[in-house]
Structure 1
Amino acid sequence: MKPIIEMNNITFRYQVEDTIPALNDVSLSIHQGEWIAIIGHNGSGKSTLAKTINGLLLPEAGTIKINGQEVNEKNIWDIRRNVGMVFQNPDNQFVGSTVEDDVAFGLENQGIPREEMLIRVKESLEQVRMAEFMKKEPSRLSGGQKQRVAIAGIVALRPNVIILDEATSMLDPEGRLEVIATVKKIKEENNLTVLSITHDIDEAANANRIFVMKKGQLIQEGTPEEIFSAGEKLIELGLDLPFPERLKAALKQAGLNVPTDYMTEERMVDWLWTSVLKK
């Protein structure tokens, strides 16, 4: 099966005179229906990578293909119909006076007939559980609700790929969980491909694979279990420690002999119950 996203030897500089490229010879492939988390410290190239995928930035070298179609200036609008992007601050994406107007904005730009537009607006807001807020002003919504409306605006366009560019970083823990649950539901219903640029361990844990960026290069990739097993080295990779790893570190300090391999919360509960609490 051909990848839905294929990047070959991508290099990008923001200024011609930059000695260190923002992206340096990056190659990767992503298949339809995958959830990919992209992690790394600020300045590692995560957001730049995402912006080249949907054509906001065009690389100086290398090729990018979306669903077999090469990204270039001629087909940039076709590419953006396939790749939707949700940014960190939803307020920067709102243009309508009401929630339904805002979701309809992108559809109007694409010349979608009004009858079809009304159906898509209603369906997309129902998918993110915001249909009851159709007539509300976006400015009166909570952070999590705003981000769900921003996601609805992308879903209405029916892309194959959704990129979350630190889309949960400004939210409180409840809002983060709310948005992640919404994206998971939409992904499963529509077999979407999701790229999540994040520092949030819970968001990264939803991924099929994690890509680690450093100084413009893709330095590591693997399943969450493979990446999370790095333990305290995760901090160097731009992620916090997962709760089970923090708990293991605390138990080790208390003198307990803890497993060395990575454990999910469920496995940690099982281990605690069978190996510690029953003794």
Structure 2
Amino acid sequence: MKPIIELNHLTFRYQKTDERPALNDVSLSIYPGEWVAIIGHNGSGKSTLAKTINGLLAPEKGTVKVGDYTLSEADLWSIRRMVGMVFQNPDNQFVGATVEDDVAFGLENQGIPREEMLVRVKEALEQVRMDGFRTKEPARLSGGQKQRVAIAGVVALRPDIIILDEATSMLDPEGRAEVIATIKKIKEENNLTVLSITHDIDEAANANRVLVMRQGELIDEGTPEKIFSAGPKLVELGLDLPFPEKLKYSLKEKGIEVPTQYLTEEGMVEWLWTSALNK
């Protein structure tokens, strides 16, 4: 399958005098329909990488290809029409007086006819379960609701790719779960490619593939099972472990025999339940 995002030998420095580049010779491919999570501690280059994909930052060396377009001044806007970004703080994205005005803003900028715009706004708000809040002021919404409106604004533009740049990091656990469930639903309904830049290991566990970055370099990649089975090695990199893996290590320390394979939360519940029944 042909990649929908292809980065080749990407290098980027914020200042030419920086001794260590923010991105150092990074190459990777992301395929249509994938959910790829990029994890790493602060300063690892995760968000810098995301911003090079849609041209917010121009690489010092290397190439960025999105779909059939190679990042350049000539193709910049074609790429941005393919890539929607949801940022960390939804308040920074709001420009409309009401929820529906805000979702319509990007469509107006693209010159979408009013009749089509009304349909897209309604559909996008329904997809994120915010249709009942159309006339509400964004400032009066909860954190999770605000982020769902920000996602609706991106979905209405009908991109091929959604990049979540630490999009759940400012939310409480309930809001975080709400947003992740929304993204899962939208991805399936629209066959989107999702790139999740995150500190939240439980969010990353939803991905098809996880990329691990350190000091501007891609140091590992694989399925969540492969990456999170590394356990203590992830902790050494300054990263956390998903809750099921933490629980496994705690049980193991108490002398309880636990499965060697990676377990999702559902898998851990099933194992605990069957283990209890077998005793």
TM-score bracket for the superposition, by shorter chain length:
over 0.9
1:182 aligns to 2:182 (yes or no): yes
CA distance in 2, matches of 1:139, 1:273: 43
2:165 counterpart letter in structure 1: D
* Aligned amino acid, residue 153 of structure 1: G
Residues 101-152 of structure 1: per-residue CA shift (max 9 Å, x gap): 1111111111111111111111111111111111110000000000000000
Distance (whole Å) between structure 1 residues aligned to residue 226 and residue 32 of structure 2: 22
In the alignment, is residue 90 of structure 1 matched against residue 95 of structure 2? no
More displaced, 245-254 or 17-26? 245-254
Query: TM-score, length-normalised on structure 2?
Result: 0.96
User: Deviation at 1:263?
Assistant: 2.5
* 8 Å contact from structure 2 (residues 35, 209) kept in 1: yes
2:54 maps to 1:54: yes
SS class of match (1:43) = coil
Say yes or no: does 1:198 pair with 2:230.
Answer: no
8 Å contact kept, 1:212–1:237: no
| 1:142 equivalent in structure 2 | 142
1:234-273 → structure 2 map (5 Å cutoff): 234-273=234-273
State how 1:77-226 maps to structure 2 within 5 Å.
77-226=77-226
What's the offset of the Cα at 1:76?
1.2
CA distance in 2, matches of 1:83, 1:202: 24
Cα deviation for residue 239 of structure 1 reads 3.4
When residues 274 and 29 of structure 1 are mapped into structure 2, their CA distance, relative to the original with a 3 A threshold, is same
Using the alignment, how far apart are the partners of 2:141 and 2:266 within structure 1?
35
**Which residue identity does 1:14 align to in structure 2?**
Y
User: Which deviations, in whole Å up to 9, do the C-alpha atoms of 1:222-276 show, x marking residues without a partner?
Assistant: 0000001011222234532222222222222222233333223343344434446
Distance in 1 separating the partners of 2:275 and 2:102: 54
In structure 2, give the amino acid aligned to 1:81.
Answer: R
1:17 aligns with 2:17: yes
Tell me if the contact between 1:122 and 1:131 (Cα under 8 Å) persists in the aligned partners.
yes
Q: Deviations over 1:154-188 (max 9, x none)?
A: 00111000000000011111101110011111100
Deviations 1:177-225 (A, max 9, x none): 1100111111001110000011112211110100001110111000000
**Does the 8 Å contact 1:39/1:237 carry over to 2?**
no
- CA 1:257/1:56 → structure 2, altered by over 3 Å: closer, same or farther? same
Measure the CA separation in 2 of the matches of 1:81 and 1:5. 14
Paired position in structure 2 for 1:28: 28
Identity of aligned residues (%): 78
Is the 1:107–1:117 Cα contact (8 Å) retained in structure 2? yes
The root-mean-square deviation of aligned C-alpha atoms, in Å, is: 1.4
Normalising by structure 1, we get a TM-score of 0.96
AA partner of residue 134 (structure 1): R
Aligned residues: 279
Provide structure 1 residue ranges, at least 5 long, that are not aligned to the other structure: none
- The residue identity in structure 2 corresponding to 1:85 is M
Give, in angstroms, the shift of residue 90 of structure 1: 0.1
